[in-house]
Chains A and B, each alone.
Chain A
C-alpha cells in the first residue's frame, strides 16, 4: 500500500514563528503536492514538485515556500506564520504515469 505520512496531525504555533510541515512518501513517486483546505473553499494547491529540487507555484503560494532535497520528502515552510494561515494542510504524491493522487492524513495548523 502507498503510504504518505505527515509529521503532525495537529500543530499550534504563534504568529511570526517559522513553521515546517513535513511530508514523506514511501513509493518513489515523482510528483508531490501541498494543498490547503478551508471550509467552503475546497482544496487549493500551494506548491507542486515534479522532481528533487524542482518546484512549481500553485494557486496560493504567497507566504509559503517548499523544499524537496530528497525524492521521498517534501516540506512546506511558513517563514513567518500568520493567523490567516490557520488551516488544514494536505500533502499528496503520485507517480508520473498515474492519474490519481495519494494523500496523507493532513495537518491541522492553528496560528495564534
Chain B
C-alpha cells in the first residue's frame, strides 16, 4: 500500500535561511508522482511543485526545489531564502500512476519563519 510520511510536525526557521521539509514515501508502483502543497492560515491549498518518478532532474519552481532521491524513497522540499510569508502548513502527496483517485497526503509540517 502507498504511504507518505512527514516526520516533522513543526519547524522554526530564521528568516532568509534555507529550509528543508522531509518527506518519505512507500509504493510498489514504478510510476508515480510526488507533490508539495502549501496551506496558509487562510485554508486554501496552493500547489508548489511536482516530480514524476521517471523525471531525471530534480524539479524546481522559483525558490522551491524538490530533492528527489528515488533509491531512498525521499522527496524533500527545499525552500531557499525563506520569507515571513512562507509560514504555513506544508503537505507532501503522492499519486499512483496517473490515478487521480489514488492520491494520498502526508500529515503535514507546520513551518514558522522567525523575523
For the residues of B in contact with A, the DSSP-based class is strand
Given contacts A40-B107, A42-B108, A105-B43, contact A94 B50 (CB under 8 A): no
Q: How many A-B residue pairs have CB under 8 A?
A: 53
| A101 to B101 Cα, complex, angstroms | 12
Interface residues of B in 66-115 (CB under 8 A from A): 91, 93, 95, 100-101, 103-108
Asked if B12 lies at the interface with its beta carbon under 8 angstroms from chain A, I say: no
**Segment at the interface with B among A18-26, A43-51, A70-78:** A43-51
- Residue count of chain B within 8 Å CB distance of chain A: 23
CA distance A58 to B52 in the complex (A): 22
Given A31-B100, A41-B107: A105 and B91 interface contact (C-beta under 8 Å): no
**Is A48 a contact partner of B42 (Cβ separation < 8 A)?**
no
User: How many interface residues does chain A have, given as a range?
Assistant: 20 to 34
| CB nearest neighbor in B for A40 | B107
Contact B105 A105 (CB under 8 A): no
CB-based contact A42/B105 at 8 Å: yes
**30 residue pairs A–B, Cβ–Cβ below 8 Å:** A33-B100, A40-B107, A42-B4, A42-B91, A42-B105, A42-B106, A42-B107, A43-B91, A43-B93, A44-B105, A45-B103, A48-B100, A50-B100, A56-B101, A90-B45, A92-B45, A99-B33, A99-B35, A99-B95, A100-B35, A100-B47, A100-B50, A102-B47, A103-B37, A103-B44, A103-B45, A104-B44, A105-B43, A106-B44, A108-B43
